[in-house]
Amino acid sequence: MTTALVPPSARTVVEVGVGAVAPADVLAVARDGARIELTADALEAVDRARAAVDELAASATPVYGISTGFGALATRHIPTEKRARLQRSLVRSHAAGSGPEVEREVVRALMLLRLSTLATGRTGVRRATVQLLADVLDAGITPVVHEFGSLGCSGDLAPLSHCALALIGEGEVRDADGVLRPAAEALAAAGLEPVELAAKEGLALINGTDGMLGMLVMALADLEVLLRTADVAAAMSVEGQLGTDRVFAEELQALRPHPGQAASAANLRALLRDSGVVASHRGPDCTRVQDAYSLRCSPQVHGAARDTLDHCARVAGWELASAVDNPVVVSAGDDGPARVESNGNFHGAPVAYVLDFAAIVAADLASISERRTDRFLDKARNHGLPPFLADDPGVDSGLMIAQYTQAGIVSELKRLAHPASVDSIPSSAMQEDHVSMGWAAARKLRRSVDGLTRVLAVEVMAAARALDLRRPLEPSPATGAVVDLLRSHGVQGPGPDRHLAPEIEACVDLVRSGAVVAAAEAVIGELK
């Protein structure tokens, strides 16, 4: 998946208002460098909420997040002259991440989603602070955020704090060219001035589920492509292994009316339509009605994955529509006086659970893909193909070790499928005594998506070689188009052993970019 920004001339514009940003907006800003435009209603809502915070800050009554300390230190009332220092100290102390840098697209998604919450008028920040966050995104400045530091409650504190640190001109950032620079220097080069945080602003900038949510949105977009790729790969494997397509019949699938299963089976029928290979053994003499589960049950497994990810997408939609902060401004602009209320909406459990669900899906899709691939290589099960699809078995090893690569990745994906969200470790002197680990769930899901991409790529490569070996029987027009795509991108057909790693990487790029799906769809129309 790419993290590069596109040239400014190619950018789209994403409007950020009081309502939710769409998943497509997250992708546009995170991956394509789309420009931000704050709407008038958002700026008005920000101003109203800020007026409420200023009024409460002037009161002699302590208000959490405005005139008190934070977390386990919330019992201390902070005098007016120390409140700017309070906000600055909060950001500095919470910017405590460690480990490798997080990918640029993740940081940009995180920043956009924090901006979206600020724009709801529920956090009490000033207009200038909101605008600066939008301007930093537009300038292509990306704060350095580290792998470790978030427990997913109160949201993604450490990652968001590193972003807030850049807004006050401290810490390190990557500029639009990816060069590591001090934040103050990068802001000045972009014509931007650091902000001096006022009451409540430091807390509002760091208290949300934006990192884990951004990674969920991007993973779901990638998995949508990979689900269709899995159907393409399965069709190629069924065809290359002389499997039957009769089990995918609509009347059979309707007996178990899961929507994902119906969609996957419909894809398989379309992909295998007009296949000369399938037609060659379809008839009264065909006894292939009991293919192995990895072939026969592909729509059941792929369909269950689809339905699970549909649930994940619903949760993401609810979270995108949320204003996550603590405390929040309520009744600002409505009937009655505005007030600030503490809440627990920052807890990452809803997002953490579905991040873990998605990692389970990725592991199982990869597992069934690897099993289909393995069948190609075993002469006892591949119905007349050479062992390991090798040119001269014994002298040549064919795709033997490509399957090892798959197997190693699948094993890793099974480990990554262990849920992070069932763990919790107390923090903040037991004030934060149950946490979601949602950030950790999101980080492992990104690795799972990458692993699934690679496993499917090896299956497509093996199936394409098998279909070539079946000639003069012709594959279906759709699967034949995928074979042609591979051959045109340096993935060679059957022949003596050669260096396989570059060909595997070429296949990975074609799967990741969606080119494999696009090649099939160019023949049969859009897959479900």
Alpha helices, H only, 75-191? 83-94, 104-118, 127-138, 157-167, 183-189
Catalytic residue among 64, 293, 353, 404: 64
Instruction: Please state, in angstroms and as integers, the Cα–Cα distance from residue 477 to each residue in 80, 107, 483, following that order.
Output: 73, 42, 10
Determine the residue type at 121. G
Q: Is 92 exposed, middle or buried (0-12, 13-18, 19+ CB in 10 A)?
A: middle
CA 195 to CA 127: how far, in whole Å? 11
CB atoms within 10 A of CB 517: 24
Give the Cα separation of 30 and 115 in Å (integer): 13
* Neighbouring residues of 398: CB distance < 8 A, sequence distance ≥ 6: 377, 386, 387, 388, 389, 390, 391, 497
For CA atoms 261, 263, 264, 269, give the dihedral sign. positive
Quote the CA–CA distance of 264 and 250 in Å, as a whole number: 11
* C-alpha to C-alpha distance for 207 and 3, rounded to whole angstroms: 25
**Helix, strand, coil distribution of the chain in percent, nearest 5:** 55, 5, 35
On whether the CB atoms of residues 308 and 501 are closer than 8 A, the answer is no
First-residue to last-residue Cα distance in the chain: 22
Cβ–Cβ under 8 Å, residues 309 and 223: yes
In angstroms, the CA 39 to CA 18 distance is 8
| Total Cβ atoms within 10 A of residue 429 | 10
64 included as an active-site residue: yes
What does the alpha-carbon distance between residue 126 and residue 510 come to, in Å, rounded to a whole number?
46
Calpha distance 324→132 (Å, rounded): 20
Sequence letter at residue 198 = A
CA atoms within 13 Å, Cβ hemisphere of 29: 34
Active site amino acids: 64
